[in-house]
Structure 1
Amino acid sequence: MEKQQASNPLAEPVKGRVIVVNEEARAATGEEHKLGIFEALSTYPKIVIWCMFLCLPIIGIQYDQTVMGAYYALPAFQQRYGRFVGGKFVIEAQWQTAITMAGYLGQIFGALGVALYPLDRFGPRRTLSAAVLGITGCIFIQFFSQSIEVLYVGELLQGILSGCFIVICVSYASELAPLALRGILSSYANLCAVMGQFIGTGVTFAFQGRLDQWAYRVPFAIQWWWCLLYFMFIWFTPESPYWLVRKDREEDAVKVLTRLSGRHDSEQDARNRVLVIRETNRMEKEMSQGATFMDCFRGANLRRTEICVVAYIIQIWGGGAFQGYSTLFFELAGLPSKNAFALSLGTKAFAFTGTVLSWFILWRVGRRTLYCSGEAMLTVFLFLIGILDVIPHYSSHPGLQYAQAFMLFLFSFVYDCTIGPVEYVLLGEISSTRLRGKTIAVALAIKAVFGIVNSVSMPYMMNSDHANWRGKAGFLFGGLNLLFTLWAFMRIPETKGRTFEEIDLLFEMGVKARDFRKYLSDADFEEHQSSAG
């Protein structure tokens, strides 16, 4: 069968359909498809190192959120920033809520602000450099704050810069990575988040016995290490080739990709990749006029924005909120405080292991299968947690409490083996390259709104002096997750092994999510024809 012209991107081979890209970029696209994961690792080791380095701020973001959550129960922190009520110092509930919400509010303004102007105008590298300087100052505010009002300002400003980092790091890694490594390097952001939580939990545990000011000041000061490390190397970071092409600086993009390539013909390889980037940018210009926030909600981009937003919301309302309250959950389940803390650390270790394992599964089964199966398993675990809580005489049976804790362990493992890392991959692959920063910003801002709702509702839902649901909250999140599982099956497409240009074509043609895998690339079609002939 002959291939149809580029103006008609569909042709009918024996099985499925073929995606025909621009003639000029076809050879380079074929090379992308032929490159295996191990060959990509040996060919582009510099890209792997830089992508891992660029996600370092996410460790700091999650670390700050973790230590702030633990400070409310820290005696030294309570004495410094709390009020003396009923014979002891306590942090007022309104300030706990305000500081927790400050991070989310900051992320909304930071994500939308950086995507609105500086990211497009100055590029990822210079924007990241400015953000690192800014967050260094925010840590000074936290470290030297003498009142809870000043501490709130520091948290709000740090939240703004956190929103900048998340938008830039995820989009940067997805654009810099070669096709074979894109899923792994994008999902590495989730591993950084888990590492930040684990380090934060460990640091607060180490200092909880101190009664002086250093019990909370040292954990604040530890954040400076990553700022110093980041600022030392950020000036050597390669600029995003997609941003350079959008600014008509193709020769600079070639130089960047040549420097990062390990091939003997690195310059020619770089020029081939720039051809693909140029064609992707040209096609997206035709599909969406301009690159504004409103374009995220027009035409095919509306569907892409919906997928990014809902998948991000699922991180909170699909049961992920349980992970943030794991220590409290274990205590409410009747476990001793020391055991509850140890189990909470254990969930972080399970999450770390799950994220690493997800890289190998992503490589084998792809995004859609991993996400949908993960959602289904999480739904089962949530309902089991709820069922265990309503068994008669639950409080007098330690075995049931530990069984519930084990379910939460499994939940954390499966969560960070499936939907946790895949979400970052979806953010980088589903959004179009011209609107990537803005799409991620919209998703992050909406997720932050849901995070605010979660931070307000969860204490009332879980605490013993209010609803005291404990594990029965699993019924609520299990029911929501059941709906999310159906949504994922209907809406999340398979983007494994697709170049950005091919993903653009599939969305523009309105291909159903279940049918994405049925369409063959040029390279796959030629291989199919040669093997058949």
Structure 2
Amino acid sequence: MTASMSAAAAARADWRAIAICLFITIAAFQFGFDSSYYSGILVMEPFIKAYGHYDSATGDYILSSSIQSLTTSIINVGELVGAVSSYLVDDRIGRRGGLFVSSTFVVLGVIFQVSADKLALLIVGRLLLGYAVGLISCLVPLYVADCAPARFRGALVSLYQFDVGLGLLLGVIVDNATKNRNDSGAYRIPMAVQLVFPVILVPGLILFAPESPRWLLKKGKTEQARAALRRLHGNRPDVIESEILYISGTIEEERRAEGSWRELLHWHQDGRKAYLGMALQAWQQASGINFITSYGIVFFSAIGMTNSFLIQMGLYLVPMPAVWLNQYCVERFGRRPMLLLSCVLVAIVLLIVGGAGTASHKTMTLDRLIVAMVYIYMIVYNLSLGPAVWVVTSEIAAGPNRSKLMATSTGVNWFCSWMVTFTFPYLFDSDAANLSARVGFIYGSLMVAATVWIFFLLPETSGRTLEEIQILFKNGVSARSFKSYDVPGVPGDPVLEEKKEAHATEVEEV
């Protein structure tokens, strides 16, 4: 009861910072919405007529595999460029400044897509929008982590991921509302809805959301950092000065241990971390998750489901409890066991889907089995493989090259995401390889390989501080010995440690 009251009191004291962080996660809706709405418009008749071609054999308009592949996957190219360049954007104009840039690109991307009467304009719009999403995917978590009260940081960063899921759901809901229109509004309205997000976000950035105090202090703008902290914490001089002291100390500590890109090319320490982070992100995408988020409605329609929009809505609702359960399981049972369990279950489900696709005579029972397996897939994927990969990647990226290691692993994630999105139509569609549900064999086999890789090469990082993880990599400890290895005391800068202790006490008393 006391702990509960203490948490409630802390929430009341820092309500401004919590409210601002909650507001900033509106950008995550953009991320999720953009990932899901396009799947719906690919099966809308007006869109197919606008960008497809007439097939005299069937007497109907069809959208070729190449058009599906290009227009769907081009956004991943923009996302890759946005994620990689976010390091430069953030360094030059800050987290808040970067969100202004992303909002500008959202508006430009939407205008190009809504007004497009040619394929080239649609592609340009998708590319611009992808760049915006790439910036958002890096800058919003950074902003929230910088500005959230320490006690609520984990919950607020997790809420960002939850809002991405709500954005996915919102995209399908809007598609479902417009799918029966016979004019271009069927697909142009979902495109235009994306303007709502910057229209809400930009005024808030101007009126009450400050720049990250950490970024301001890193740039030597102490007075502006104080003003930003007053926006976040109210007029509490003691708390503000404690934050200034603490953040400045951690920045100085990071500068003394500054790393370089070259260190990522040497296997001994940071090279091994870079390999593990990039490989783990690649395995996540090898599960084929993008064929569900980017082509789910196309997939369900192709196997004969008449209510594919409703199925896709349910597909985003069902796994939400699994996302929350993951937060408990990865701490209680560890990262490796949960990732191994998730990969094994995903592999089994995908192989069953592939097996169902080999049946010579299609029946409603088989179609329903495939739908059921895809639902189970989303649950077991979100139980660990989806969220836990980001947890492990961030923990492995310990040390002075942390931001560089995160940038490389995130870049690989977007690249592999593009690979899955680009190749899926060529594997699935009848005018290409015509594998249909048999694509499950490909992704299922990759998940078997991922299980073997995790078992032999991925270290267990749960229960370790970032400093301990850094020592384990420095000492070249094998993956299987990470959990049991005895790490000696990790000495820190006594002055900084004293500042950290004072800061923690100050915040706890408030």
TM bin (shorter chain): 0.7 to 0.9
Answer yes or no: is the 8 Å Cα contact 1:125–1:234 preserved in 2: yes
* 1:316 has 2:282 as partner: no
Q: 1:70 aligns with which of 34, 37, 40?
A: 40
Count of residues in correspondence between the two structures: 479
Equivalent residue, structure 1, for 2:275:
306
Tell me which amino acid in the other structure corresponds to 1:463.
Answer: D
Q: 1:222 aligns with which of 193, 201, 225?
A: 193
Q: 2:482 aligns with which of 510, 515, 518?
A: 515
TM-score normalised by L of structure 2: 0.80
Equivalent residue, structure 2, for 1:453:
419
Tell me which amino acid in the other structure corresponds to 1:55.
Answer: T
Equivalent residue, structure 2, for 1:192:
163
Assess, with a 3 A threshold, how the Cα gap between structure 1 residues 304 and 128 changes in structure 2: closer, same or farther: farther
CA deviation map 1:263-309 (0-9, x unaligned): x9x6555555555544544444344445xx54554564333333432
How many angstroms does 1:467 deviate by? Answer: 3.8
CA deviation map 1:192-236 (0-9, x unaligned): 332222111121121111111221221122111111111011232
Larger relative contact order (CA 8 Å, sep ≥ 6): 1
> What is the rounded CA distance, in whole Å, between the counterparts of 2:19 and 2:212 in structure 1?
15
Answer yes or no: is the 8 Å Cα contact 1:506–1:516 preserved in 2: no
Tell me which amino acid in the other structure corresponds to 1:311.
Answer: L
How many angstroms does 1:54 deviate by? Answer: 2.8
Secondary structure at 1:237 match in 2: coil
Q: How does 1:338-353 map to 2 (within 5 A)?
A: 338=307, 340-353=308-321
TM-score normalised by L of structure 1: 0.77
CA deviation map 1:322-347 (0-9, x unaligned): 423433443454x4322x33222211
> What is the rounded CA distance, in whole Å, between the counterparts of 1:43 and 1:522 in structure 2?
34
Assess, with a 3 A threshold, how the Cα gap between structure 1 residues 519 and 269 changes in structure 2: closer, same or farther: farther
CA deviation map 1:178-202 (0-9, x unaligned): 5654444333333233222211112
Assess, with a 3 A threshold, how the Cα gap between structure 1 residues 365 and 228 changes in structure 2: closer, same or farther: farther
Answer yes or no: is the 8 Å Cα contact 1:83–1:91 preserved in 2: yes
Equivalent residue, structure 2, for 1:476:
442
Tell me which amino acid in the other structure corresponds to 1:62.
Answer: G
Assess, with a 3 A threshold, how the Cα gap between structure 1 residues 82 and 481 changes in structure 2: closer, same or farther: closer
CA deviation map 1:395-419 (0-9, x unaligned): 34x4343233222211101222322
Assess, with a 3 A threshold, how the Cα gap between structure 1 residues 276 and 472 changes in structure 2: closer, same or farther: farther
Percent identical: 23
Secondary structure at 2:319 match in 1: helix
Secondary structure at 2:43 match in 1: coil
> What is the rounded CA distance, in whole Å, between the counterparts of 1:453 and 1:327 in structure 2?
19
Gaps of at least 5 residues in structure 1 are 1-34, 524-533
* 1:103 has 2:70 as partner: no
After superposing the two structures, state which structure 1 stretch, 425-434 or 97-106, moved more: 425-434
Q: How does 1:416-495 map to 2 (within 5 A)?
A: 416-432=382-398, 435=401, 437-489=403-455, 490-494=457-461
How many angstroms does 1:370 deviate by? Answer: 3.8
Q: How does 1:17-96 map to 2 (within 5 A)?
A: 44-86=14-56, 87-96=59-68
How many angstroms does 1:124 deviate by? Answer: 0.7
Tell me which amino acid in the other structure corresponds to 1:373.
Answer: L
How many angstroms does 1:165 deviate by? Answer: 1.4
Tell me which amino acid in the other structure corresponds to 1:320.
Answer: I
How many angstroms does 1:125 deviate by? Answer: 0.9
> What is the rounded CA distance, in whole Å, between the counterparts of 2:395 and 2:224 in structure 1?
24
Equivalent residue, structure 2, for 1:203:
174
After superposing the two structures, state which structure 1 stretch, 428-437 or 66-75, moved more: 428-437
Secondary structure at 1:171 match in 2: helix
Gaps of at least 5 residues in structure 2 are 492-510
Secondary structure at 2:318 match in 1: helix
Secondary structure at 1:459 match in 2: helix
Tell me which amino acid in the other structure corresponds to 2:285.
Answer: I
RMSD: 3.6
Assess, with a 3 A threshold, how the Cα gap between structure 1 residues 479 and 93 changes in structure 2: closer, same or farther: closer
Q: How does 1:117-516 map to 2 (within 5 A)?
A: 117-177=88-148, 181-235=152-206, 236-249=208-221, 253=225, 256-257=228-229, 260-261=232-233, 268-269=238-239, 271=241, 277-289=247-259, 293-294=261-262, 296-297=264-265, 300-324=269-293, 325-333=295-303, 335-338=304-307, 340-361=308-329, 364-365=332-333, 367-389=335-357, 395-396=362-363, 398-432=364-398, 435=401, 437-489=403-455, 490-494=457-461, 498=465, 504=470, 507-510=473-476, 515=482
Assess, with a 3 A threshold, how the Cα gap between structure 1 residues 118 and 88 changes in structure 2: closer, same or farther: same
> What is the rounded CA distance, in whole Å, between the counterparts of 2:232 and 2:63 in structure 1?
50
Secondary structure at 2:220 match in 1: coil
> What is the rounded CA distance, in whole Å, between the counterparts of 1:43 and 1:494 in structure 2?
34
